[in-house]
Every structure is written in C-alpha cells, then in structure tokens.
C-alpha cells in the first residue's frame, strides 16, 4: 500500500507540472511521428529528383528540397527514427554499464570501490566528444558503431549516482534484516537495493537520451555519423551548411526538430526529478 501511495503522489506532482507535461507530450509526439513516418511522409526520403533541386517550401514540398531534390519533410520524419534508435540504445547500454559498476562499488566498498571509482575518474578525464570522434575516425562510421560508442563513453554519471544510492541504502534496517535472514549478496542487490536506487537513474537516462541525440546529430553534421543516403537530422544540416545563403530551410527545419526534441526530453527529465523529490525545486 505504501508503494501505491508513493506512485500516486509521484503522478500527482508530475501532473501539476505543466512544463513536465509539455515535455511528455513532445516525447510521445516524437514516438508517434517516428512510428507513423512511412505513412506520414509524402515521398520516399531517398528519392532523387534532379528537376526539383533546392526548391523552397511549397504545397508540394512542405519543408522544401535538398541539393538532390529529395523532400526534406520526408527525410526529417524518417530522421526521427534514427534519433530515437540512437538515443534509446546508447542510453540503455550506458545505463546497464553504469548500474553494474555503481552497484558493485557501492555495495562492496573497500578495494572494489577504490578500483572502480578510479576507473570512472579516469574515464571522466577524457573529453567525451573528442574521444567519440577519435574512435569513430578509426572505426567505420555506422549507426551501430555510433550507438555503441556513445553508450560506452557516457555511463560514468550513472555509475556515480548508483554508487551514492547504494552507500546510502546498504546500512538501512531492511538490508540488515535481509542479511540476518541469510539473503545472499545477489538477492540483496537486485531485490532490495537496486529497485530503491532507480529513481535518479530514470532522470539521468531521460536527460541522457537528449544528449545522445545531440551527439549523433553533431557527428552526422561532421560527416562521421549516420552516412547518406540514410536520413538523419545531422546530415540534413550538413546540406544546409553548404547552401546556407540560398536554402535557409535546410538549416531551419532540422535545427528546429533537434531543438524541440532535446527540449522535450529535458523538460520531461526535470519534471520526473522534481516529482521524485519536490525539495529539489526549491
């Protein structure tokens, strides 16, 4: 009953936060657009029409066309699929690694904590984006490599959050009671400690999706991310950069898509954070 009451209190606080609800609407809208992209897009996103190169927005092409005559509106719709895939897979990988390392460091402490946290500190010393650039330059640029590299270079914050939660919880009465009843380490970690440590991880993961989408867009903009002809908001922006003086729509519309998406995830993450602990709003 106490758990049900906490969930009701969480949702009551969340629903009172209009900015959080706005973020939720944006995120759900992005999911819907991504799922319905094959039906919403008026054209094949990779269809080349050399007779319609760099056409401005019109009734036939709502967001104009790119230098190869491809419909920008259709490419932005399909680019939403890439952004969601990169965001969720990379953040999922980062969360999995961070939870494991943070749980082991926080629960066992001592030499395990020292070794794991020094490794975390070492990873934090490297500028993440430049580390990703270096690895991508060595490997073949592909969506799977990008998702793996973003995930493998962004787990450190989750590890520190989980470690702090474990250090706070492992001496509580319910953990001591489980130990007295003969529960093993695995049961204590997965049954008692981890479920009570996931609230800040949820917030971190939600905000991390926005960061992953930005990173993928930046890599694609630099030509090291999703490779043409696969549509991505970043590589649409690259075409906009090359034609900024004559095709403003190639920069405006994908830029707005990135802005709205990242803003939606940030608002949702902040709303979850404040609903979990309203004192953080003060």
Q: Using one digit for the tens of pLDDT, what is the confidence trace for 56-65?
A: 999 999 999 9
Could you tell me if 205 and 91 are in contact, meaning their C-beta atoms sit under 8 angstroms apart? yes
Could you tell me if 238 and 220 are in contact, meaning their C-beta atoms sit under 8 angstroms apart? yes
Q: What is the mean pLDDT of residues 121-150?
A: 82
Distance from the first to the final alpha carbon of the chain: 29
Cis peptide before 59 (omega within 30 of 0): no
- Which backbone phi and psi does 63 adopt, to 5 degrees? -110, 20
Question: For tokens 């905000």, what's the residue?
Answer: 207
Q: What is the mean pLDDT of residues 139-162?
A: 87
What interhelical angle do 72-108 and 18-40 show, nearest 10? 130
For the chain, the structural domain boundaries read 22-265
Among 180, 174, 178, which Cα is nearest to 196's? 174
User: What are the tens digits of pLDDT across the range 23-33?
Assistant: 999 999 999 99
Among 118, 190, 130, 129, which Cα is nearest to 160's? 118
Could you tell me if 17 and 274 are in contact, meaning their C-beta atoms sit under 8 angstroms apart? yes
User: What are the tens digits of pLDDT across the range 173-207?
Assistant: 777 787 777 777 788 878 878 888 888 888 888 88
Q: What is the pLDDT of residue 1?
A: 44
- Helix, strand, coil share (%) of the chain residues, nearest 5: 75, 0, 25
Q: How far is the CA of 277 from the CAs of 2, 141, 280, 281, in angstroms? A: 16, 41, 6, 8
282 pLDDT band, cuts 50/70/90, is: very low
42 pLDDT band, cuts 50/70/90, is: very high
Q: CA–CA separation, 23 vs 30, rounded Å?
A: 11
Residues 6 or more apart whose CB falls under 8 angstroms from that of 6 comprise none
DSSP 126: S
Helix (H, G, I), strand (E, B) or coil at 155: coil
Burial of 114 (0-12, 13-18, 19+ CB in 10 A): exposed
Q: CA–CA separation, 218 vs 220, rounded Å?
A: 5
Question: For tokens 């990379």, what's the residue?
Answer: 90
Among 19, 23, 28, which Cα is nearest to 207's? 23
How is domain 22-265 classified at the CATH fold level? MetI-like fold (1.10.3720)
């Amino acid at each position: 009953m106490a758990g049900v009451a906490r969930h009701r209190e969480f949702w009551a606080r969340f629903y009172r936060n209009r900015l959080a609800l706005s973020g939720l609407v944006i995120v759900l809208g992005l999911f819907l657009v991504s799922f319905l992209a094959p039906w919403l897009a008026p054209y094949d996103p990779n269809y080349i029409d050399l007779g319609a190169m760099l056409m401005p927005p019109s009734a036939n092409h709502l967001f104009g066309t790119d230098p190869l005559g491809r419909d920008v509106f259709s490419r932005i719709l399909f680019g939403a699929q890439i952004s969601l895939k990169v965001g969720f897979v990379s953040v999922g990988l980062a969360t999995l690694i961070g939870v494991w390392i943070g749980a082991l460091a926080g629960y066992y402490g001592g030499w395990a904590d020292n070794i794991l946290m020094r490794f975390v500190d070492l990873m934090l010393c490297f500028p993440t984006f430049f580390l990703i650039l270096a690895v991508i330059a060595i490997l073949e640029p592909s969506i799977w490599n990008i998702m793996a590299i973003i995930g493998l270079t962004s787990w450190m914050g989750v590890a520190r959050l989980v470690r702090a939660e474990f250090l706070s919880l492992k001496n509580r009465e319910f953990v001591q009671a489980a130990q007295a009843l003969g529960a093993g380490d695995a049961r204590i970690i997965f049954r008692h400690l981890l479920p009570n440590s996931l609230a800040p991880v949820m917030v971190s993961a939600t905000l991390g999706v926005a960061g992953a989408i930005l990173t993928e867009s930046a890599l694609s903009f630099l030509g090291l991310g999703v490779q043409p002809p696969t549509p991505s908001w970043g590589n649409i922006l690259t075409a906009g950069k090359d034609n900024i003086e004559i095709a403003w729509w190639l920069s405006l519309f994908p830029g707005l898509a990135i802005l709205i998406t990242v803003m939606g995830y940030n608002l949702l993450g902040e709303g979850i954070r404040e609903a979990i602990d309203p004192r953080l709003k003060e």
